[in-house]
A and B are shown apart, each in its own frame.
Chain A
Amino acid sequence: MTDVTLYHWEPNANSGKPMLALFEKGVAFDSHYLDLLNFDQHKPDYLAVNPLGTIPAMKHGDLVLTESTAIMEYVDEAFDGPRLMPADPVDQWRTRWWMKFMDQWLAPSFSMIGWSVFVGPSVRQKDPAELEAAIDRIPMPERRVAWRKAINGAFSPEEMAESQRRVGLGIGYLEEALGQRLWLASDSYGLADINGFNLAYAIPLSQPHLCNDELTPNIMRWLRAIYARPATRACWALGRTDLARRISLLESEPA
């Protein structure tokens, strides 16, 4: 028993951010796995924790926290262990800039692609009436729209093309930044890297024509360096599906 409970899905995207931060800090926590593909995040038990019905959420004693990036900052400040926010104020600014850029520009584009090729097809075969009822339980109107589109394969060609455009540009921006510094936002491993890894660990598999040893050597170096960390191994061991298992591609040797 610990006084920290994390409600999460796979170590991936938003769930993986506080998970990996907790592992890096060496904070023991009770893992409460929610199956996103089974709509666990919209069930009453979880809505009592996070009324918005999105994952992750964390309890620390009586305190409840949401918003994965803000949770990471809290984890870094509230617990002992290695500092994950750099000490220099400019590096702190850069850390937050990158996290916002990824959270609000790059990650949503990856999500749209991921939901259209993976999440939608994974739930589509369920009973239509059951799916309709599940969608009606979603608290946020924006998310009801996204789920409907994913299930019906209804993302428009224009919005998919825009997402793919952003993914292509974003990979270029990451490569450029990682060509300037050892880590994404500073010279030490930190929150921006944890955030970025959760977004990017599988890009060499999902976007092989854009991200590989030849085209993006700095991204590949960075992903392998993060994969080599014991905290990353321990974190991804909590994965239960092929989504998280994609991480094993980072066992490959640099070409």
Chain B
Amino acid sequence: MTGILYHGQPNGPSFTVLAAAFEKGVDLDLRAIDLVAGERHSTALPHPLEVDQSIEGEGPVLVVDGVAMTDSVFLACYLDELGSGPAIRPADPYARWQMMAWCRYVIERVAPAAAALGNAAAPPLGVPAGIASADLEGRWKNAVEGKADDSQLADSRTKIVQAVEKVEAQLADGRDWLMGDFTIADLESHAWLAGMRGIVPEAFASAPLTDAWGARLRARPAVARALGLATIAHPETIWAPGPEINRWG
């Protein structure tokens, strides 16, 4: 049975999952929804716990045989198992650990910062009805009302600067991709950093390796196809509330 992928503009988590599906040659029934209008919370989608309490916030939902799955990195792992295209995870256990630890860093430190900055730059117009998670609803309210905490925004900019430094350092040995071979880590890093060029330009001021890596990534046919699904000129400027900024430490 063909899975159904509900996705937003090819930015953030929707970008990762669309590109991973194309890389792997997995045939999906693609259904574009407006994440910024809150369509993910409509009754047209299934609402099990894993959709309503996804840590990722407004990310894509993949429904296969009645199971609704969320969280882009894990959806990409699932597509890697399923599809026939070249692997997008290393086979060696240590290299795979490196990829998962890298993705965890992006998920936990970079994505919340990017989502906070993206929403502050382009706030959604209203809080959609039907949000099951009170903390996600709180992030929507803050985004709509432009109530971003200055110290959090400043720290988020620092997080983006650090992330680009980390990418630059990782590529310093001349490798093409973050883990050596092309992997989900490349997709997930680009997913959250692409939109930061306009918002935190200083992070990219002297990052030639990151620039070249981004260009290489966008030249991949599967990535180009994912970006080609955009219905606006600059999908990387479109944001809906994402993962929360770590409240513990």
Partner of B82, one of A89, A146, A165: A89
Whether A70 and B104, one on each chain, are in contact in the complex, defined by CB atoms closer than 8 angstroms, is yes
Question: Distance in Å from the Cβ of A173 to the closest Cβ of chain B?
Answer: 6
In the bound complex, residues from chain B placing their C-beta under 8 Å from that of A104 are 55, 107-108, 243, 246
In the bound complex, residues from chain B placing their C-beta under 8 Å from that of A78 are 93-94
Question: Distance in Å from the Cβ of A132 to the closest Cβ of chain B?
Answer: 18
Contact flags (1/0) for A188-226 with B, using CB distance below 8 Å?
000000000000000000000000000000000000000
Contact flags (1/0) for B100-113 with A, using CB distance below 8 Å?
11001001100000
Whether A100 and B107, one on each chain, are in contact in the complex, defined by CB atoms closer than 8 angstroms, is yes
The answer to whether residues A67 and B104 also contact, given A142-B249, A146-B248 and a CB cut-off of 8 A, is: yes
Among the stretches B73-81, B211-219, B232-240, the one at the interface with A is B73-81
B70 contacts chain A at the CB level, 8 A cutoff: yes
In the bound complex, residues from chain B placing their C-beta under 8 Å from that of A71 are 97
A69–B105 Cα gap in the complex (Å)? 12
In the bound complex, residues from chain A placing their C-beta under 8 Å from that of B23 are none
A142–B94 Cα gap in the complex (Å)? 28
A237 contacts chain B at the CB level, 8 A cutoff: no
The answer to whether residues A159 and B247 also contact, given A63-B94, A93-B75 and a CB cut-off of 8 A, is: yes
In the bound complex, residues from chain A placing their C-beta under 8 Å from that of B49 are 173, 176-177
B69 contacts chain A at the CB level, 8 A cutoff: yes
The A interface is mostly helix, strand or loop, or mixed, namely: helix
B129 contacts chain A at the CB level, 8 A cutoff: no
Contact flags (1/0) for B132-168 with A, using CB distance below 8 Å?
0011000000000000000000000000000000000
In the bound complex, residues from chain A placing their C-beta under 8 Å from that of B58 are none
Whether B94 and A100, one on each chain, are in contact in the complex, defined by CB atoms closer than 8 angstroms, is no
In the bound complex, residues from chain A placing their C-beta under 8 Å from that of B97 are 65, 70-71, 73-74
A216–B233 Cα gap in the complex (Å)? 51
Contact flags (1/0) for A57-92 with B, using CB distance below 8 Å?
000100101110111011001100000000001101
A165–B50 Cα gap in the complex (Å)? 19
A176–B49 Cα gap in the complex (Å)? 10
A143 contacts chain B at the CB level, 8 A cutoff: yes
In the bound complex, residues from chain A placing their C-beta under 8 Å from that of B101 are 65-67, 70
Question: Distance in Å from the Cβ of B197 to the closest Cβ of chain A?
Answer: 25
In the bound complex, residues from chain B placing their C-beta under 8 Å from that of A145 are 249
Whether A74 and B96, one on each chain, are in contact in the complex, defined by CB atoms closer than 8 angstroms, is yes
In the bound complex, residues from chain A placing their C-beta under 8 Å from that of B74 are 93, 96-97, 100
Most buried by A among B69, B93, B100, B107: B93
In the bound complex, residues from chain A placing their C-beta under 8 Å from that of B82 are 89
A255–B93 Cα gap in the complex (Å)? 44
In the bound complex, residues from chain B placing their C-beta under 8 Å from that of A146 are 248-249
Question: Distance in Å from the Cβ of B57 to the closest Cβ of chain A?
Answer: 12
Residues of A bordering B, CB below 8 Å: 60, 63, 65-67, 69-71, 73-74, 77-78, 89-90, 92-94, 96-97, 100-101, 104-105, 108-109, 111-112, 140, 142-143, 145-146, 159, 162, 165-166, 173, 176-177
Residues of B bordering A, CB below 8 Å: 49-50, 53-55, 64-65, 67, 69-71, 73-75, 77-78, 81-82, 93-94, 96-97, 100-101, 104, 107-108, 134-135, 243, 246-249
4 pairs of A and B residues whose beta carbons are closest in the complex: A108-B248, A146-B249, A142-B249, A77-B93
Give 26 A-B contacts (CB < 8 Å), ordered by A residue. A67-B104, A74-B96, A77-B93, A77-B96, A78-B94, A89-B81, A89-B82, A92-B77, A93-B78, A96-B73, A96-B74, A97-B50, A97-B54, A97-B69, A97-B71, A100-B55, A104-B108, A104-B246, A108-B247, A111-B248, A142-B249, A145-B249, A159-B247, A165-B134, A173-B49, A177-B49
